[in-house]
Structure 1
Amino acid sequence: MVFVGALRPLFAAGQSNAALIHFDGQTQVFRIDAGDISYVLGINEKKQLQAIYWGKRLSTADAFAMPHSDPGLSSFESSSNTTQQEFVGWGGGLYVEPDLKVTFPDGNRDVVLQYVSHRIDGSQLTILLKDVSREVYVELQYQIEATTGVLRRSAQVQNRTSAPLTVEEIASGTWNLPRGTDYRLRYLTGRWAGEWNLREQIIQPGKTILESRRGSTGAQNNPWFAIDRNGSNDQDHGEVWFGALGWSGSWQISIEQDAAQQVRVTGGPNRFDFGYLLAPGEHLQSPDFYAGYSHDGIGGASRLLHRFEISSILPHAPGPKLRPVLYNSWEATEFKVDEAGQEALAEKAASIGVERFVVDDGWFGQRSTDRAGLGDWYVNPEKFPHGLKPLIDKVHSLHMDFGLWVEPEMVNPNSDLYRKHSDWVLNFTGRPRTEGRNQLMLNLARPDVREYVFEFLDKLLRENDIAFLKWDYNRNWSEPGWPAVAPEDEKKVYIAYIQNLYSILDELRTKHPHVEIESCSGGGSRVDLGIMHYTDEVWPSDNTDAFDRLLIQDGFTYAYAPGVMMAWVTDSPTWVNQRTVSLEYRFLSSMQGSLGVGSNLNNWKPEDFATAKKMVTQYKQIREIVQRGSLYRLISPQNGSEQSVTESVSEDQRHAVVFAFLHSSQMLYPFPRIYLRGLKIDAMYRIEALDGKLSGNSPAVASGAFWMQHGVDVDLRGDFQAAAFTLELMDR
């Protein structure tokens, strides 16, 4: 029995084989070095696994003495609560957040873990712990990524007793920060159409819980954190400790300052409503908890995380494909899709340079509204009398590949599937079944449901030349019951569901390696490092208002790479705010991520097509910089800023692209000067406007030092104005 152990992503070959881990048998100290970080832990006199150091990389000559447990503060705050342990069971008078809580059949709930053994295999460290009296073992797993220094941690609890036990809480591990009282926490909150709000608060004695109890990741909190020193609020300077949980189910991250004013961060599946019956001989694997350190501010932290995601998390890492320019027909037709209408839209999309044409909801079953048809995955014969092939052939003739919207985990009560298998949904026997968007949740934990979902998706891909699936998920869980299993096993649904979700995605990718997948959940409600291992891109928000997206996209990129962030150009005024902005502004806003178009092309004028064709061409010239480069937030849109400026710099520092946005100008004040980052100081760069809004005072060619120290002026005046320019290194 595992969470994701069998499906765990491995770090890219060539990066994970370097010998980065050393154990000093005399001092009982483990040292992990990679990138620009050192992570040090050891075995103390109580055989506890104790944290020693996590921060900027140390000299190889630096040595550590054998760790000793903290003596405690008083009889009320014993040593077990003040010693910074890597992984601790609930027992022995523990009051801080435990990593493991177990109930045994005899009622005992005490677990005290001690070191047993370890092994080192290149960049992987495995440490075995055992309870002091019972045959309960925990295998701690560490793996370091050589370039970024991002460390992956997980834990596996093993029941080697002769009776079943119940795991009531299992974390992936605890990250212990250096002692200090001046820490600040950053995290991300939101809701539908208002995701990715960056929040911050001072860490004080007590506990802050970030969590989702919704069965999936959830937009209300995202499983990411960053901690820095209060007062060092700088994009490019200062120490930052950051992390993200790779789990797409209910989750929890606890940030706790203990009685000794030490900060510890514990993360894993949510303990709320959790209980996993573990039979003798079985094991339970936690999700992966990733963390890193940067001394280059919060901007440096996000750039490290972006690089790690691209090189080690995404499908086809370390070289995932660039995202193609996409058109989605939803806003043009909604549910009123048919062969002729989609073919006409495909012709219009191809004329502006689109590379992928996607048919959204409405193509299947008796699907004319969101009240029926979900779960019946056959091509609607009235809308597509000859199946999807004629449309796909038409799309291919226009030199685009073809994509399709699906929502595999859901069912409408008004569907053939539900009428035949009403027992397939999450439910409590005899209780009401709560609908969301007129649909119920299929219980993917059930083997028969898992088989059905995989089989219809596999059949769809086998019978049609489909290059892309937009995998949607439009509600959260309710009534998370599983009546088909014994009552003591029902809570396994939280684990088995996500395990089967991952296994379906993994098997589909194996059988259809050319197919790319987007994770969408009513916007950004299921974005995390777990689902990102199986999906090529994610949908950050249903809110496509170009001005709102500046803030949404800014928050998103603190945790996730711009290259996975889909950003659509849609109609103006938007349904969100009834705000009208120019087509150029909408394109430039979306060109900061992976560009898509969702406008109703049937309403465009010839000049709109001309503008779009020009800007799609420009995007293709810069997309590798945007999707794979290093992101610098030069002026933040946070806190009601009138301006927003981002810069992306290619990995080799030869190219850069800058996007600047103005909400409203006032009283003849000019747009603030833009000071670039990330360029080579002595290299010469040519600057070129994408839209003619560069100030005439800028030279055509200047050094990296000039652009970073002197800066660049853009001519932006009025309301909702935008500009973009590029820099290219000149070979001497």
Structure 2
Amino acid sequence: MIVFHENKKLFHLSTRGMSYIFGVGGYLQNLYWGEPVNAEDCVELMEVNFHSSFDPDTNLDREEFTCWNGRSFAEPCLKLQQGVESVVFTEFAGWEIFNRQDRVQTLRITLEDKVREFQLILEYVVYEELDIISRKAILNNIGSPLMIENFQSAALSLPQLERPFMRYVTGKWAGEFVINDAPVNTGVFTMQSKRGMTGPHFNPSFAVYEEGATEQNGNVWFGQLAYSGNWKISVEKTIFDNIRVTGGMNDSDFFKTLGQGESLETPEFFFGFSDGGFGGMSRKLHSFQKAHITTTSKPRRVLYNSWEATTFDVNVKEQMKLADKAASMGVELFVVDDGWFGERHGDNAGLGDWTPNAGKFPNGLGELISYVNGLGMDFGIWVEPEAVNPDSCLFRAHPDWIYHIDGVEPMQSRNQYVLNISLKEVREYLLDMLRSLLAQNNISFLKWDMNRMITDLGSCDGVDHRELWRAHVDALYEIWDTLRREFPQVELETCAGGGGRIDLGILKYADQSWPSDNTDPYERLFIQEGFTNFYNPGIMMCWVTDTHPSYRRSGRRDISYKFRSAMCGGLGIGSNIGNLTAEELSLYTSHIDEYKSIRHIVQNGRLYRLLSPGNSPVSAVQYISESDEESVVFAFLHSQKFGDPCKRLKLQGLSKNSRYLVQAAGSEESNRIYYGSTLMHIGLPLSLKGDFDSALLQIKKLEE
């Protein structure tokens, strides 16, 4: 709900479990963000807080949207090009509230700079039932051209905390979504990407919390930026202990000229508050994402991807053999990865020539697709449209279509360049190619990959290179949006060498994501823990793959352990299934059937992270169905010392007075019945032993 207390000049944005309050004085001042409070009691917080002639009003640290003007020295949200003209002074000019039928309200605050003749719109969207608010800013230029150097989405001010900490995730290729917890010290800590995409190194998500917060308890302030290009989130603690989080497009190498009558809009910055620790934070984010971001209602199909079986040595006959095996196991989606197109026999040629290789597919893709469909499976395919090999027909015909700086040899990475999709002709080429591919073939799934960062920003049309960073993202969204509208039956997966492009911006168009190329079942538990802190597990694809004897992780070979790790999200198979023994094939089949029986709980239910893989020899996660009638628990023993038995596992989220039937998958022990209070306060016994053992427990509420 949005209320303007006109007599107090206060705006109160409230959800079921959060208040966000700011006032209108000489400037917009954030007054409070956290647990629900009475807004009118906050009016005294607007009083000038004088410290000295050096800091005549420390409340300037809490300005709702700081424009660089030499008076406030907090991280700015808007900064124009250097010079006298860069000074910005905005005045409050009005407000509007818009209502939607789904109990979602929008507030628009209008600020004006009458000297430079522009309007600054601050937009707030309140998702009352889901405990989430979003912010963005819109700049409408009325006067002469504006040269913009920095334009952030929002600044969020937190209450003063005694011992504030923050949580964020970092990573690298094959090691994404690693959880970091660190104190918030005086100064500025910045997470960012300057690589043209979200990147695996940081993710545009944050949580600030009071020392002592856990999975179940504690106050947590959190947020996520919906942007897939260069981004920045800064957490600043001033000398007066004011904490604010500023987020938006990265101002590093950013520039935009805004002509008269033109507008510029920032990405959305979503935020919320949890008094139920990190678990409460995650469940709020997951519920919101399922309702308003990744809104697909279809279940994630069990897929098979043939990459590890064939790599680039793709041909129709071998793919048919793999399809036979996949269908016999119960796979629902058969995906052909890299190597099907052009002269693609390695990673050094063919990228950009998106027609089937005549030697590998003499009758086109249709022959294989018909065969796969005849086996009862859908067909999917891998593409990397933003990149091109120098050794390709596309590059030889259009060398000017890549990002390049005149007179400088462009950098290759993985033997490829990046196409300048900000050029209309390049976008049209890619869309025509994708339309042809999808219209001529019964393809129901695209795995969209991107295996390098963007470099050599420059264009044949003379556009300022600093404007290309955003232009690339806008073009990418345009292409994905077109595909969604024209081919609604085709599901899209976002992948960038693993988890290099996962954020709420691209997820508005994607059905699922590929968090990491690392499919080791033990290390994936860490990646999946970090991922689910901020993202819904229903879009998190997890594969079962081979473990070669020479592999450094050769100890993790138990098939059940691999499957149970991969069942924690959307299940995929990447093994060379042509080499499976009859016994292994039977195990794969039974685990796939097992997953299908619980898929609705894992993908659509509520997640509770019971034990972290980093803090205990046992890790465990629990999912509870939307109806609260079913639950499933995955438990993993990584290493057993001195023969110590596992401690009882305490569950969460159950009804304490209800009785539950607990069934252990693959166990010959009789089923057991417990009260919810017993399961949550005493716990379940675990019979895990040795190294890399696992258990799957299915729990059903009994009728009273």
What TM-score, normalized by structure 2, do the two folds share?
Answer: 0.97
Q: Which residue identity lines up with residue 52 of structure 2 in the other structure?
A: S
> What do the CA deviations read for 1:478-524 (whole angstroms, capped 9, x no partner)?
111224124xx331111111011001100111001110000000010
User: Residue 629 and residue 576 in structure 1: after superposition, are their counterparts in 2 closer, same or farther (change >3 A)?
Assistant: farther
Once the two structures are TM-superposed, the CA of residue 147 in structure 1 deviates from its matched residue by 1.9
Deviations 1:313-359 (A, max 9, x none): 0144xxx2110101000001111111111111111001111100000
Please state how far the C-alpha of 1:79 moved relative to its aligned partner. Answer: 2.7
Shift in CA distance, 69/114, structure 1 to aligned 2, threshold 3 Å? farther
For residue 204 of structure 2, what is the amino acid of its counterpart? Answer: P
Which of the numbers 109, 133, 136 marks the counterpart of 2:115? 133
Structure 1 Cα separation of the partners of residues 87 and 652 of structure 2: 53
Aligned to 2:629: 654
Q: SS where residue 43 of structure 2 aligns?
A: coil
Q: For residues 601 and 91 of structure 1, what CA distance do their matches in structure 2 show?
A: 64
2:562 to 586, 607, 621: 586
Alignment of 1:28-107 (within 5 A): 28-44=9-25, 46=26, 48-58=27-37, 63-65=41-43, 68=46, 70-79=48-57, 82-103=60-81, 107=84
Alpha-carbon displacement from aligned partner over 1:418-438 (angstroms, at most 9, x marks no partner): 111111111111112111111
| Structure-2 residue corresponding to 1:441 | 418
Corresponding residue of 2:102 = none
Distance 1:412 1:474 in 2: 12
Distance 2:294 2:468 in 1: 26
The match for 1:281 among 261, 275, 297 is 261
Q: CA deviation at 1:72?
A: 4.0
Matched, 1:302 2:253: no
1:629-675, Cα deviation, whole Å (9 max, x unpaired):
11111110125x32211111112221111111111111121112100
Query: Once structures 1 and 2 are overlaid, which stretch shifts more, 202-211 or 88-97?
Result: 88-97
Cα distance in 1, alignment partners of residues 59 and 388 from structure 2? 47
State whether residues 29 and 60 of structure 2, in contact with CA within 8 Å, keep that contact through their aligned partners in structure 1. Answer: no
Match of 1:604 in 2: 580
Matched, 1:311 2:285: no
Contact 1:661 1:723 in 2 (8 A): yes
Do structure 1's residue 271 and structure 2's residue 251 form an aligned pair?
Answer: yes
Deviation (angstroms), 1:576: 6.2
- 2:458 matched to which residue of 1? 481
Q: What is the deviation of 1:181?
A: 3.5
In the alignment, the residues of structure 2 paired with residue 433 and residue 707 of structure 1 have an alpha-carbon distance, to the nearest angstrom, of 60
- Once the 2 structures are TM-superposed, how far is the Cα of residue 468 of structure 1 from its aligned partner? 0.2
Aligned pairs (5 A) from 1:622-701: 622-639=598-615, 641-692=616-667, 700-701=672-673
CA contact (8 A) 1:36 1:56 kept: yes
Once the two structures are overlaid, the 10-residue window that deviates more, 561-570 or 622-631, is 622-631
In the alignment, which of 500, 504, 509 is matched to residue 529 of structure 1?
504
Query: Which of residues 361, 364, 373 in structure 2 aligns to 1:384?
Result: 361
Deviations 1:206-226 (A, max 9, x none): 000000010100100000001
Q: Which runs of 5+ in 2 are unaligned?
A: 100-104
CA contact (8 A) 1:545 1:576 kept: no
Secondary structure at the residue paired with 1:385? coil
Query: What CA distance in whole angstroms lies between the structure 1 residues aligned with 2:74 and 2:55?
Result: 10
Q: Does 1:595 align with 2:575?
A: no
Matched letter for residue 460 of structure 1: L
Matches of 1:315 and 1:705 in 2, distance apart? 34
Going from structure 1 to structure 2, the CA distance change for 1:72 and 1:112 (only over 3 Å counts) comes to farther
CA–CA distance in 2 between the matches of 1:422 and 1:80?
A: 55
Q: Which amino acid aligns with 1:346?
A: A
Which of 210, 213, 231 does residue 233 from structure 1 map onto?
Answer: 213
1:555 matched residue in structure 2: 530
- For 2:46 and 2:227, the matched residues in 1 are separated by 34
Cα deviation for residue 67 of structure 1 reads 5.5
Aligned to 1:713: 685
Aligned to 2:195: 214
Deviation at 1:90, TM superposition (A): 0.4
Match of 1:13 in 2: none
RMSD of aligned C-alpha atoms? 1.6
Distance apart, 1:92 and its partner CA: 3.7
CA positional deviation for 1:448? 1.1
| One of 462, 465, 475 as aligned partner of 1:490 | 465
Secondary structure at the counterpart of residue 93 of structure 1: coil
CA distance in 2, matches of 1:31, 1:535: 34
In the TM superposition, residue 84 of structure 1 has moved relative to its aligned partner by 1.1
Deviation at 1:100, TM superposition (A): 0.3
Mapped partners of 1:156, 1:576: distance in 2: 51
Bigger shift: residues 90-99 or 411-420: 90-99
Distance 2:164 2:547 in 1: 43
Which residue of structure 2 aligns with residue 325 of structure 1?
302
1:643–1:662 CA contact under 8 A, matched in 2: yes
User: Which amino acid is the alignment partner of residue 201 of structure 1?
Assistant: A
Whether the aligned pair in 2 keeps the contact of 1:469 and 1:516 (CA below 8 Å) is yes
Name the aligned partner's letter for residue 129 of structure 2.
T
- Describe the SS at the equivalent of 1:450: helix
Displacement after TM superposition at 1:554 (Å):
0.8
Give 1:107 deviation, angstroms: 4.7
SS of 2:271's partner is: strand
* Alignment check: 8 A CA contact 1:171 1:286 kept: yes
* 1:97–1:266 CA contact under 8 A, matched in 2: yes
Structure 1 segments unaligned to the other structure (5+ residues): 1-19
Check whether the contact 1:38–1:57 (CA below 8 A) recurs between aligned residues. Answer: yes
Give the distance between the partners of 1:24 and 1:207, measured in 2 at CA: 34
What does the per-residue CA deviation read over 1:595-651, in whole Å, with 9 as the maximum and x for residues that have no partner?
Answer: 000000111000111111111111011111111111111110125x32211111112
Q: CA deviation at 1:131?
A: 2.1
Determine if contact 1:43/1:66 at 8 Å carries over to the other structure.
Answer: no
Q: How many Å separate the matches in 1 of 2:394 and 2:47?
A: 59
Give the residue type in structure 1 aligned to 2:276: D
Cα deviation for residue 685 of structure 1 reads 0.7
Residue 147 of structure 1: SS of its match in structure 2? helix
Amino acid at match of 1:151: I
One-letter amino acid matched to 1:610: S
Residues 362-387 of structure 1, C-alpha deviations (whole Å, 9 max, x = no match): 11111110000000111111111111
Q: Distance in 1 between matches of 2:400 and 2:135?
A: 37
User: Within 1, Cα distance between the matches of 2:645 and 2:557?
Assistant: 21
Counterpart of 1:118, as a letter, is: W
Amino acid at match of 1:129: L
Alignment-derived partner of residue 10 in structure 1: none
Query: 1:82 corresponds to which letter in structure 2?
Result: L
Whether the 8 Å contact between 2:477 and 2:506 is mirrored in structure 1 is yes
2:592 to 611, 616, 623: 616
**Equivalents in 2 of 1:135, 1:693: separation in Å?**
76
Matching residue of 1:517: 492
Q: Residue 701 of structure 1: CA displacement? A: 1.1
The number of equivalent residue pairs is: 698
Q: Mapping of 1:348-363 within 5 angstroms?
A: 348-363=325-340
2:167 corresponds, among 186, 190, 200, to 186
How far the C-alpha of 1:157 sits from its partner, in A, is 1.2
Would the aligned equivalents of 1:50 and 1:67 in 2 still touch at CA under 8 Å? no
| Separation (CA, whole Å) in 1 of partners of 2:668 and 2:285 | 33
Q: C-alpha distance in 1, partners of 2:683/2:564? A: 21
Equivalent pair of 1:35/1:149 in contact (CA under 8 Å): yes
Task: Give the residue type in structure 2 aligned to 1:354.
Answer: V
Query: 2 CA distance for matches of 1:75 and 1:424?
Result: 56
Cα distance in 1, alignment partners of residues 552 and 135 from structure 2: 40
Query: How far, CA to CA, are the matches of 1:479 and 1:201 in structure 2?
Result: 35
1:577 and 2:558 aligned: no
Distance of aligned partners of 1:503 and 1:21 in 2 relative to their CA distance in 1, 3 Å threshold: same
- Does 2:700 match 1:728? yes
1:543 counterpart SS class: coil
User: TM (normalized to structure 1)?
Assistant: 0.93
Structure 2 counterpart of 1:180, one-letter code: L
